[in-house]
Amino acid sequence: MSFKSTIEFIKSIYPNKGFIPLHEPKFIGNEKKYVLETIESTFVSSVGEYVNKFEQEIASITGAKYAVAIVNGTSALHLALKCAGVQNNDLVITQSLSFIATTNAISYLGAAPIFIDVDLQTMGLCPIALKEWLLTETVQKINNESGKIECIHIGSQKRISAVVPMHTFGHPCVVDGLESICEEYQIPLIEDAAESIGSQYKNKHTGTFGLAGVFSFNGNKTITCGGGGAIVTNDESFAKLAKHLSTQAKLPHVWEFNHDMVGYNYRMPNINAALACAQLEQLNAFIDNKRELALMYSDFFEKIEGIVYKSEPINSKSNYWLHTIQLKDKEQRDLFLAETNENGVMTRPTWTPTHLLPMYKDAICGDLKNTSFLAERLVNISSSVRA
Ligand SMILES: *Cc1c(COP(=O)(O)O)cnc(C)c1O
């Protein structure tokens, strides 16, 4: 099978380009103006008006009560899990089909991941698989010190202290299903919404279903500020703790330096926030542009035998961060990757599932048949906003 017609189609979507990258940032708004303002005012670092403005904008776009600006998505995940109470020796449930940062954030706290399968349609954590695993592998116990109900993994006798689903490539997972399971088992839900700024599930923004959600504004994401992240939550004390820990846990005082906890230098600098504010102004236009492309791709791939285009799941509006296709098998996938990349159209397979990496090969896993199926077949194709 040749993928010539697909390559020609992608080249027609992105004309006059010798090489078509997977996802390019676009700076076509107020980026230069706002960044220059921070330089001219000298407020380039962790204090400044753009950081506050960015937090207000993120809260308003997502509908969350509070937003905290963070240096990057990985640190935002680390801090959100810390604020949710994840501790040394705990277990945290997540998906193996994700970027490595999701699981690394769990490790930073001395906790270990449990990998549960994704569903085939959303490519995110599957509520049915989660429920089945919890039913057979865990018991609920009352902690004698705190008096709280805890979910204990029978095999290791360790506490499960968070569930972290991820909205894969911008497509929302079945997050209301996960939310009700987490409520039943009294486990905090922290959404890795790093890829899904602007994506909604049942008209509610991703990242706002659980205790907290996390976004990334890295260079390859839908909008970028070089490096950046955010935590959103409706819980006031959670938001206060996240902000406090992100600013070295420094107690407010005009001249004294006092700290009451082991904090982090995780605050987003004002110069990045300026770039982020300019990009946020264009978020809706970028998403409209990507959604138009989704229609073109889905029309095109409908006629191509052996390739399934991954359209947004039901009940959701996706930001279509990375457009994704599913090939028949691993062999076809590898042929597709070779032919496209040789012809100047950058494509790439999805991440190696985290449970196969050397650091996590001994992790506790559910049945990961969908994860393995998808990991062998998914390919991300040209996804940049078109001129
Ligand atoms: C990008 C990404 C992150 C990390 O964000 P950074 O800003 O690059 O640190 C975390 N999780 C997922 C799923 C991501 O795609």
- Our answer on whether the CB atom of 74 is closer than 6 Å to any ligand 1 atom is yes
Backbone angles phi, psi at 325, to 5 degrees: -120, 160
**Residue 217: burial class (beta carbons within 10 Å; 0-12, 13-18, 19+):** buried
pLDDT of the residue at 17: 84
Q: How confident is the model at residue 135 (pLDDT cuts 50, 70, 90)?
A: very high
Whose CA is closest to 321, among 10, 59, 22, 99?
Answer: 22
The 10s digit of each residue's pLDDT in 301-320 is: 999 999 999 999 999 999 99
Per-residue pLDDT averaged across 242-251, rounded? 97
pLDDT of the residue at 46: 82
- Our answer on whether the CB atom of 354 is closer than 6 Å to any ligand 1 atom is no
Best mutation site among 195, 268, 380 for ligand 1 pocket (most ligand atoms within 8 Å of CB): 195
Structure tokens, 387 = 């001129």
- Our answer on whether the CB atom of 99 is closer than 6 Å to any ligand 1 atom is yes
Cα Rg for the chain, rounded, in angstroms?
A: 21
* 3-state SS, residue 150: strand
Name the pTM for this structure. Answer: 0.98
Q: Which atom of ligand 1 is nearest to the CA of 75?
A: 9
The 10s digit of each residue's pLDDT in 116-127 is: 999 999 999 999
Helix, strand and coil content of the chain, in percent to the nearest 5, comes to: 40, 20, 40
Structure tokens, 189 = 């839900």
**Percent of the chain residues past pLDDT 70, beyond the cut:** 100
Q: What is the rounded CA–CA span in Å between residue 276 and residue 227?
A: 9
pLDDT of the residue at 231: 98
Position 5, amino acid = S
Q: What is the rounded CA–CA span in Å between residue 301 and residue 43?
A: 49
130, pLDDT greater than 80: yes
Q: Note whether 64 and 233 are within 8 A (CB).
A: yes
* 3-state SS, residue 136: helix
Q: How confident is the model at residue 387 (pLDDT cuts 50, 70, 90)?
A: confident
183 Cβ partners below 8 Å, 6+ apart? Answer: none
Q: How confident is the model at residue 79 (pLDDT cuts 50, 70, 90)?
A: very high
pLDDT of the residue at 16: 84
The number of angstroms, rounded, from the C-alpha of 312 to the middle of its chain's C-alpha atoms is 16
- Our answer on whether the CB atom of 190 is closer than 6 Å to any ligand 1 atom is no
Calculate how far, in angstroms, residue 17's C-alpha sits from the geometric centre of ligand 1.
28
256 Cβ partners below 8 Å, 6+ apart? Answer: none
1, pLDDT greater than 80: no
Q: How confident is the model at residue 2 (pLDDT cuts 50, 70, 90)?
A: confident
The 10s digit of each residue's pLDDT in 180-235 is: 999 999 999 999 999 999 999 999 999 999 999 999 999 999 999 999 999 999 99
363, pLDDT greater than 80: yes
**In what side-by-side order are the strands of the sheet with 66-70?**
66-70, 229-233, 212-216, 190-192
**Long-range contacts of residues 126-130, Cβ cutoff 8 Å, at least 24 apart:** 126/174, 126/370, 127/174, 127/177, 127/178, 127/181, 128/177, 129/366, 129/367, 129/370, 130/93, 130/163, 130/178, 130/181
Please report where in the chains the tokens 């490096």 appear, as a residue.
227
Q: What is the rounded CA–CA span in Å between residue 48 and residue 16?
A: 40
Residue nearest (by alpha carbon) to ligand 1 atom 10 = 101
Domains in the chain with CATH codes? 4-26+283-381 (3.90.1150.10), 31-280 (3.40.640.10)
21, pLDDT greater than 90: yes
Calculate how far, in angstroms, residue 304's C-alpha sits from the geometric centre of ligand 1.
32
Q: Note whether 39 and 45 are within 8 A (CB).
A: no
42, pLDDT greater than 90: yes
Q: What is the rounded CA–CA span in Å between residue 104 and residue 289?
A: 33
Mean residue pLDDT across the chain: 97
**Percent of the chain residues past pLDDT 90, beyond the cut:** 96
Calculate how far, in angstroms, residue 106's C-alpha sits from the geometric centre of ligand 1.
13
- Our answer on whether the CB atom of 102 is closer than 6 Å to any ligand 1 atom is yes
Calculate how far, in angstroms, residue 227's C-alpha sits from the geometric centre of ligand 1.
10
- Our answer on whether the CB atom of 321 is closer than 6 Å to any ligand 1 atom is no
Position 346, amino acid = M
Please tell me which residue, 146 or 167, carries the higher pLDDT value.
167
**Residue 291: burial class (beta carbons within 10 Å; 0-12, 13-18, 19+):** middle
Q: How confident is the model at residue 91 (pLDDT cuts 50, 70, 90)?
A: very high
- Our answer on whether the CB atom of 382 is closer than 6 Å to any ligand 1 atom is no
Q: Quick one: which H or E segment has residue 377?
A: helix 369-377
**In what side-by-side order are the strands of the sheet with 112-116?**
138-142, 149-153, 158-164, 91-95, 112-116, 364-365
Per-residue pLDDT averaged across 260-264, rounded? 97
Per-residue pLDDT averaged across 368-372, rounded? 98
122 Cβ partners below 8 Å, 6+ apart? Answer: 168, 171, 172, 173, 174, 313, 316
Q: How confident is the model at residue 72 (pLDDT cuts 50, 70, 90)?
A: very high
